[in-house]
Amino acid sequence: MTTQTTAPDTPGARNADTPTGLLPLPEKAARALALGGSALTIVSTFLAWTWTADFPGDLTVYGYPGGLQVLVLIGALIATLFALASYGIRGLGRLAPAGPDAALKFATLATFATSWYTIIAISTELGGVVNLEPGGYLVAVSSLTALTGALALPFQRPQPDPADPDDTGWEKFRHTAAYKWETTKAVFAAGPPRPVPALPSYAEILIIVAVLALGLVVFTYGIGTEYDELFVGFLITAGFGFAALNKAGLIAHASQITSRHQNITICGAFAAAALFPFTQTNDQYATLGVYILIFATVALGLNIVVGLAGLLDLGYVAFLGVGAYAASLVSGSPSSPFHVHFPFWAAVLVGAAASLVFGVLIGAPTLRLRGDYLAIVTLGFGEIFRITANNLDGTSGPDITNGSNGVSSIPNLDVLGFDFGAQHDMGGFTIGRFANYFFLMLVITAIVVLVFRRSGNSRIGRAWVAIREDETAALAMGINGFRVKLIAFAVGASLAGLAGTVQAHVTYTVTPEQYLFAGPIPPNSAFLLAAVVLGGMGTISGPLIGAALLFLIPNKLQFLGNYQLFAFGLALILLMRFRPEGLIPNRRRQLEFHEDAEAPTLLTKAGA
């Protein structure tokens, strides 16, 4: 195969009659199919897909998309824009800084998958394809047509010549080495990738506002999906849509802009999150919001231990339990043997201090271990904590935690006369109990983010990164590895205890079963670690987004019953296969996982 010497997404870079995609179609015909199919898909969303309202979402209306039709419409609009950009239309090039062809493939795949999922669901639930209206048939054909055209577009990156199967081992080695050498020369010739030119500050701030507003809309829509089919369709559209935007280069472009305005981005993100309770009419989804914040805050604390210091902690949820138990025992619960009622600020200090002490006590004798040995010890600590809390019932041990019944009837917080258990009117909006705790957890999350940023950029933070990358080299450079790791363990434990104090008041009851290593519903140690890895280790926004996804998706997939964890695990496997560095990775990890994949792209740029 001949290596391309022009940018792969440039129209006219190849012979238009040469089929170089997955399907044997000329390039001009493929682009026409992708554009025409996407346009017809838009039209189909304004037609009825079924004749009866028995299928949720009321897909019987002409001229007004509803339910899953809205998701298909959004995907088709994105695909149409990328299809127009692939023609080189003036002004649309900014939609795909990295090239529109790969983005078009994922956008049409999102539309096709959501459309056909809806058609299959209608046929299954209503008893056959006879229940489809003309719009249903049209969307099935048009989305398939658009996907066919997109898949026939040329590949983005060149591939090496296949080795002759009759070659000897030495000839295969020489062939591979020669290709890698040519790739390396092209990479050095191309030089480092050029950053996106900076726009005026006001324009970049407006882009940040638009990105945050879009994030709030997507999250609010996802958490408020009214029926199961709509949430599954939302997952399909959002997943492939994110991949399309990433392939187009828009995610990287937005990341560069936000990195130039980090303080504005962080403040704007918290402002957008504060608007979430005002988008809800009751506490049904605000409940999920406050639990997501608790889970995300604990995941961010674990990110210090795992993401910055590189310590694999499999029992981290125990520190959340220590903080929750400590706060519940001094917050006026009738189940507490101490019979004291501290104010909230004192209970917070007690919970954080208790977790800090346990972090030091556990870390001091164990942090001289490394790797798997440390992971096994922390896993044991998590189980020891749960079993101990279960046995402190007055029978197997002193009566402190009330055994498996836990500490119950924990009263609502009352801070400066503000009762968190009562409804309050704010600007014409009624804010319920869980919304009150949502705002409180937002403040706690802001504190944790501040601690993470300041510690990560400090001298101790650089020492954590040095230990993570190569502990032997860090020790040789004079870093006290044990002390540095113990500080990371203590800081992470105290942040988990801080979140545990709020969790105790939100749930009313603290029991040992809430702090397992693994279970169907987070938070638990396995889900916390998955949130850090999935979101992006060593970053602030990564664990927050990862925790939100890992808490929201299992709650929304409960209709799958016994297949819930299977479907969820399969989705995680696919995601980590195609994006192992996480959703929001730092630059170092992104290069570690994709340095080989970036070489062919630079090769084409060098030859251009």
Q: To which residue do tokens 């251009």 refer?
A: 608
Helices marked H in 343-412: 344-366, 371-391
Q: How far is CA 586 from CA 209, 257, 590, 597, in A?
A: 22, 14, 6, 17
C-alpha span between 273 and 436 (Å, rounded)? 13
- Could you tell me which residue, 191 or 76, shows the higher pLDDT? 76
C-alpha span between 198 and 260 (Å, rounded)? 9
In the structure, what pLDDT confidence band is assigned to residue 315 with cuts at 50, 70 and 90?
A: confident
Q: Cα 251 to the chain's mean position, in Å?
A: 13
Quick: pLDDT tens for 171-190: 555 555 555 445 444 444 44
- Could you tell me which residue, 566 or 235, shows the higher pLDDT? 235
First to last CA, the chain: 17
Instruction: Please provide the average confidence, as pLDDT, over all residues in the chain.
Output: 80
Helix (H, G, I), strand (E, B) or coil at 527: helix
Per the structure block, which two tokens stand in for 481?
Answer: 């590895």
Quick: pLDDT tens for 339-348: 888 888 888 8
- Could you tell me which residue, 306 or 605, shows the higher pLDDT? 306
Percentage of the chain modeled with pLDDT above 90: 14
C-alpha span between 335 and 339 (Å, rounded)? 8
Q: What is the mean pLDDT of residues 232-239?
A: 90
Closest by Cα among 235, 242, 223, 246 to 114: 235
C-alpha span between 265 and 253 (Å, rounded)? 14
Is the model's pLDDT at 79 over the cut of 70? yes
Is the model's pLDDT at 145 over the cut of 90? yes
Q: Which of 137-146, 251-260, 282-291 has the highest mean pLDDT?
A: 137-146
Alpha-carbon torsion angle 391, 347, 275, 448, nearest 10: -80
In the structure, what pLDDT confidence band is assigned to residue 227 with cuts at 50, 70 and 90?
A: confident
Quick: pLDDT tens for 32-76: 999 999 999 999 999 999 988 888 888 888 988 988 999 999 999
Which pTM was predicted?
0.78
In the structure, what pLDDT confidence band is assigned to residue 15 with cuts at 50, 70 and 90?
A: very low
Quick: pLDDT tens for 259-275: 888 888 888 888 988 88
C-alpha span between 55 and 284 (Å, rounded)? 23
Determine which of 165-169, 261-265, 329-333 has the lowest per-residue pLDDT on average.
Answer: 165-169
Per the structure block, which two tokens stand in for 29?
Answer: 């015909």
pLDDT for position 200: 80
Q: What is the mean pLDDT of residues 239-266?
A: 87
Helix (H, G, I), strand (E, B) or coil at 211: helix
How big is the CA angle at 209 (ends 203 and 214), to the nearest 5 degrees? 125
Beta carbons within 10 angstroms of residue 555's beta carbon: 16
Q: What is the mean pLDDT of residues 567-582?
A: 75
Q: Judge contact between 86 and 9, C-beta under 8 A.
A: yes
| E strand or H helix that includes residue 415 | strand 414-415
pLDDT for position 171: 53
C-alpha span between 238 and 236 (Å, rounded)? 6
Is the model's pLDDT at 137 over the cut of 90? yes
Quick: pLDDT tens for 438-448: 888 898 888 88
Is the model's pLDDT at 14 over the cut of 60? no
Per the structure block, which two tokens stand in for 244?
Answer: 């399309």
Q: How far is CA 288 from CA 547, 552, 608, in A?
A: 12, 7, 51
Q: Judge contact between 261 and 208, C-beta under 8 A.
A: yes
User: What phi, psi does 430 have (nearest 5°)?
Assistant: -95, 120
Determine which of 11-20, 224-233, 376-385, 527-536 has the lowest per-residue pLDDT on average.
Answer: 11-20
pLDDT for position 398: 78
Closest by Cα among 34, 306, 304, 315 to 153: 34
In sequence order, the β-bridge partners of residue 430 are 425
pLDDT for position 19: 45
Beta carbons within 10 angstroms of residue 161's beta carbon: 12
Phi-psi region of 154 (alpha: psi -120 to 50; beta: other; left: phi over 0): beta
How big is the CA angle at 585 (ends 187 and 375), to the nearest 5 degrees? 115
